[in-house]
Chains A and B, each alone.
Chain A
Amino acid sequence: MADKPRSFQEIILRLQTYWAAKGCAILQPYDMEVGAGTFHPATTLRALGSKPWAAAYVQPSRRPTDGRYGENPNRLQHYYQYQVLIKPSPPDLQDLYLGSLDAIGIDASMHDIRFVEDDWESPTLGAWGLGWEVWCDGMEVSQFTYFQQVGGHDCKPVSGELTYGLERLAMYVLGVDHVMEMPFNDPQTPIPLTYGDIFKQTEQEYSRWNFDVADTEVLLQHFVDAEAECQRILDAPAEDPKTGSKIIMAHPAYDQCIKASHVFNLLDARGVISVTERQAYIGRVRALAKACADAFVQTEAGGAAA
């Protein structure tokens, strides 16, 4: 049993070390605004096709509607997820997961750890899976999902996905009641920084922008542009006239899908999307995600013959 970590970053580092030791490629965050770690192409696209895959990474995630100007003890418009994706899902994935809790100082013999039914569905990604939310003493600390479908494609083999909500998990492990008071680096260092030192101001700035200032006309145009560009990229012929090779541009197209999805979230936070329109927008993003998935499975990484 590992000793208690002392900071937010130590928990992240321990998870990185743990999953590296278990054979995962430790990737870096995707360099775009996403709503959850699942959007990273290392999950969405790599869950497709037959090629084995094992990756872990931190993903900064944005949910504009959750902004609370840094006042709420655990609600943030920008937060971190830790994401693990292994394909095919290994038979001991539950044990591997419990090992990761041990690595960050959660002693299973002192806590009540439970796997409680939670079917996962992402309407925007056309994806669903079955699994659980993992409870530790009544608190949800992770999502555990066996992917069944992504972008409308059956996952064969099935990927096992683990998602840790890092702030909430760390607050629990560190015994902190307000996220802004959580030590980000080691409190014993000469320059100790709390989560609030780093993010309080940005939460205020983004909350204001998300809710009241973001230009909805511009955003609406961004959505339309991203949608059109995604489609245009996918419509390009597979053979690249310059190199003469087959280059299907699944990833650049998927970037536009991610962009459209985030713009939709911003519009939602601005309150300009009505209930009926909501469904239509989600359907449009899903159509992009499906088209990207269709393209990815035609590529080598997607399992197609070279």
Chain B
Amino acid sequence: MPDLLIELFSEEIPARMQARAADDLRKLVTDGLVEAGLTYAGAAAFSTPRRLTLSIDGLTAESQAVREERKGPKVGAPDKAIEGFLRGAGVAREDLEVRDDKKGQVYFAIIEKPGRMAADIIAEVLEKVIRNFPWPKSMRWGDGPLKWVRPLHSILCILSDEAGTEVVPLDVDGIVSGNTTQGHRFLAPDTFTVVNFDDYEAKLKRANVVLRADERAEAIWHDATHQAFAMGLEVVEDRGLLTEVAGLVEWPVVLLGQIDDAFLGLPPEVLQTSMKEHQKFFSVRNNVTGRIERFVTVANMETADTGATILAGNQKVLSARLADAKFFWENDLRVAKAGMQPWLDSLANVTFHNKLGSQKERIERIAALAREIAPSVGADPDLAEQAARIAKADLSSEMVYEFPELQGLMGRYYAAEAGLDAQIAAVCEEHYSPLGPSDDVPTAPVSVAVALADKIDTLTGFWAIDEKPTGSKDPFALRRAALGVIRLVLENDFRLELTGNLIKQITIIELSETVGRLQLTAKELRDALQTADVGLDPDKVVKDFILRRLGKERDAIDVNSLTTGAKSVNLLSFFHDRLKVFLRDKGIRHDIIDACIAMPGNDDLTLLVKRAEALAATLATDDGENLIQGFKRANNILTQAEEKDGVEYSYGADIKFAEDAAEKALFAALDAANAKITPAMEAQDFSTAMHAMAALRAPIDAFFTDVQVNADSALLRRNRLNLLSRIRNICLSVADLTKIDG
């Protein structure tokens, strides 16, 4: 059983692509070998900045011969059919056998595929893999057509076993495979031969190349933490940076450097970001002072002066970078201490989106909305409005222009420097949260109010101009914004009726050019929609409402072109879709959510989720599950009867016409359930209500067992149908059980 070793040696591969490429190489080559009939015991892939390496052990020396029989057309079939069969089977006419079949004589092709030597298969597979490698970005070089991530220089490809080592012959556009490679670019540039993987890895190490990325990362982390520890300091952990740096060196040499005292007054995040983004340095913290005082850089080089020149160079570059950062910081502080007004003014010149106006206009909208939302989340309206006005001021600062990833955080520093309330400073940083599904959700009421207003304004804005996410395209991260609203509301257990806010923001945006500032409140809008007839076109309700509130601007507006109501309905259903995804991850079925979305008050997400949770809990019980069957049976009988009779059985079931014990018991049970459910629903105590509903299971089952609904007597039948309608009404008052699967 030979072992296979492949190394693809190239110019420097981008660090971010290395791990994935090694994995792709392993997968593509092993898949190709297996498909061609070889098997192997194990495979491992490695990467350095200049090489992708694959080691496969226990490979079969050749593929097995395969014999396949294929049944063809009947003897005497048209020539065309026979020729087609020959082509498909890849055999000649004289090789066909004639055999007796049930229906007469039939041609058979015997296809013999001889076993192939592993080397032939490897050469074929590897060439194909090289030519079709899935690099995120690849390039040509020189005058060849070959594409690789950067110019490919050599291919090492050897099979080795006890008997020795053979090169697998391969020629990819003039790059001929061999059994040699080379070491570190500067420390050991000579070419050397390799006999197997162990030999390869050992010789590479002697030639100043650590093959394994995790070994390089570990060495870096070990040396960095030890050097820092020796000075009583601690390296700030950064996994992403560690992986990247391990991909930039073949021979890591850790150097601990000093940050000039002049820069120690900068916020630690600024030092950290500048050092990481520009120089790929680790930050080293003094845990006593909490300051970043030193840095770790990782060189790819050992020098006679043990890195002194390298470190001096790096310190110089860092000082120049930090001098820039300090310059920005000091300029920014001057503006911040004077109240940040120039920044706020200049946001008028920053376009948020060409159809949605400037950042300043957007901030105005957010401030108004934050004020309105504030009471629902327990925040002071004045404070929320003030915070919303300041929250994005740092977007104009020099530091954020240089390091956009520091937005919010710098705002917090600057708001504090401006002497603003600590709650406002916190809003600057927290109102962007949560950014992802695992990001922390702010809990401070003022932060929540502004965070909600910010996201709702973004969503309503893009809905107003019809820039909704489609398929995988979501350039404005609107799904993330909707999930943010959902998490802010649910995790803080706030009650917020969305519809009014959505209509209001969309209206304000749609009418902003003609009407200026509309004096509408979300509550008014929502109430208007709620009190309107059910089933009435939401657009019409909103239009009528807006028209009533407009003054002389009325003539300037083509009210019929407004689709505010439809947009808000569509946006609410977008929220519901995101909520379904969110709850599915928490184990709540989509049909359960649908059953609750169909109920009134579905724009209050907290209420909606409480209902869904209670329903899920109920359906998980034996009673709950069977109740659904009972409900569906009742509903089906009733619907059929209503269709047939052309009337609605909705009222008037009277116990005095009940004949059967089970029938009487059901009357009693429905009365009892009603007595519990009605007050429970009023108190939004879904658990109690659903518990009472589930208790109907036994009486309903007994009723269907003992009682014939479609009785001969029309009076009895009508009474029983009306009784079923009580079941339906009680159940539907809790959730729309018709939506439940099964």
Contacts and interface: CB of A to CB of B under 8 A. Distances in A.
Interface in B11-48: 11-12, 14-16
A275 interface: yes
Contact of B12 (A115, A139, A172, A275): A115
Contact of A138 (B140, B318, B349, B350): B318
B725 interface: no
Contacts of B350: 275
Given A137-B313, A158-B142, A111 B301 contact: yes
A117 B14 contact: yes
B309 A111 contact: yes
Interface in B332-380: 349-351, 354
Nearest to B279: A138
A130 B139 contact: yes
B546 interface: no
A111 B310 contact: yes
Given A113-B186, A137-B317, A156 B143 contact: yes
A157 B143 contact: yes
Interface in A159-191: 160, 172, 177
B320 A137 contact: no
B11 A94 contact: yes
B458 interface: no
B586 interface: no
Contact of A91 (B16, B142, B279): B142
A90 interface: yes
B80 interface: no
Given A73-B320, A146-B151, A274 B351 contact: yes
Given A110-B305, A113-B186, A115-B12, A89 B317 contact: no
B150 interface: yes
A88 interface: yes
A129 interface: yes
Contact of B151 (A91, A111, A274, A275): A91
B297 interface: yes
Contacts of A113: 186, 301
B143 A138 contact: no
A108 B186 contact: yes
B548 interface: no
B401 interface: no
A158 to B, nearest CB: 5
Interface string B259-302: 00000000000000000000100000000000000000101110
A89 B297 CA distance: 32
Contacts of B141: 88-89, 146, 158, 160
A130 B137 contact: yes
A49 to B, nearest CB: 12
A129 B140 CA distance: 10
Contacts of B16: 117
Contact of B354 (A94, A119, A276): A276
A158 B351 contact: no
A136 interface: yes
Interface string B299-322: 111011100011011101110100
A91 B153 contact: yes
Given A110-B305, A111-B309, A138-B313, A89 B150 contact: no
A156 B143 CA distance: 6
A74 B320 contact: yes
Interface size bucket, A side?
35 or more
Contacts of A158: 139-143
A109 interface: yes
Contacts of B316: 139, 177
B388 interface: no
B304 A88 contact: no
Contacts of A275: 350-351
A155 B14 CA distance: 22
B248 A116 contact: yes
B300 A112 contact: yes
Nearest to B187: A109
Interface in A103-125: 108-117, 119
A137 B314 contact: yes
Contacts of B300: 112, 114
Contacts of B249: 114
A110 B303 contact: yes
Interface in B116-140: 137, 139-140
A152 B691 CA distance: 69
A148 interface: yes
Contact of B142 (A90, A116, A148): A90
A109 B300 CA distance: 11
Given A109-B303, A112-B301, A158-B142, A138 B186 contact: no
A139 B313 contact: yes
A8 interface: no
A276 B149 CA distance: 34
Contacts of B318: 138
A19 interface: no
A254 interface: no
A79 interface: no
A82 interface: no
Nearest to B312: A137
Nearest to A73: B320
B151 A138 contact: no
A132 interface: yes
A199 to B, nearest CB: 19
Contacts of A109: 186, 303-304
Contacts of B304: 109-110
Interface string B667-694: 0000000000000000000000000000
Contacts of B153: 91
Nearest to B137: A130
Contacts of B305: 110
Contacts of A117: 12, 14-16
Given A113-B186, A114-B300, A157 B317 contact: no
Given A110-B303, A112-B299, A148 B140 contact: yes
Contacts of B314: 137-138
Contacts of B14: 117
A172 B12 CA distance: 24
Given A110-B304, A117-B16, A158-B140, A138 B320 contact: no
Residue in A74, A138, A146, A148 with the greatest tally of chain B CB atoms within 10 Å: A138
Given A114-B248, A139-B317, A89 B12 contact: no
Contacts of B15: 117
A172 B11 contact: no
A67 to B, nearest CB: 16
A149 to B, nearest CB: 10
Interface of A: 73-74, 88-91, 94, 108-117, 119, 129-132, 136-139, 146, 148, 155-158, 160, 172, 177, 274-276
Given A138-B297, A138-B310, 5 more contacts: A90-B142, A109-B304, A112-B300, A138-B313, A172-B313
30 contacts: A88-B142, A89-B141, A89-B142, A89-B151, A91-B142, A110-B304, A110-B309, A111-B313, A112-B299, A112-B300, A112-B313, A114-B12, A114-B300, A115-B11, A115-B12, A117-B12, A130-B139, A130-B150, A136-B313, A137-B309, A137-B317, A138-B318, A146-B141, A146-B150, A148-B139, A156-B143, A158-B140, A158-B141, A158-B143, A276-B351
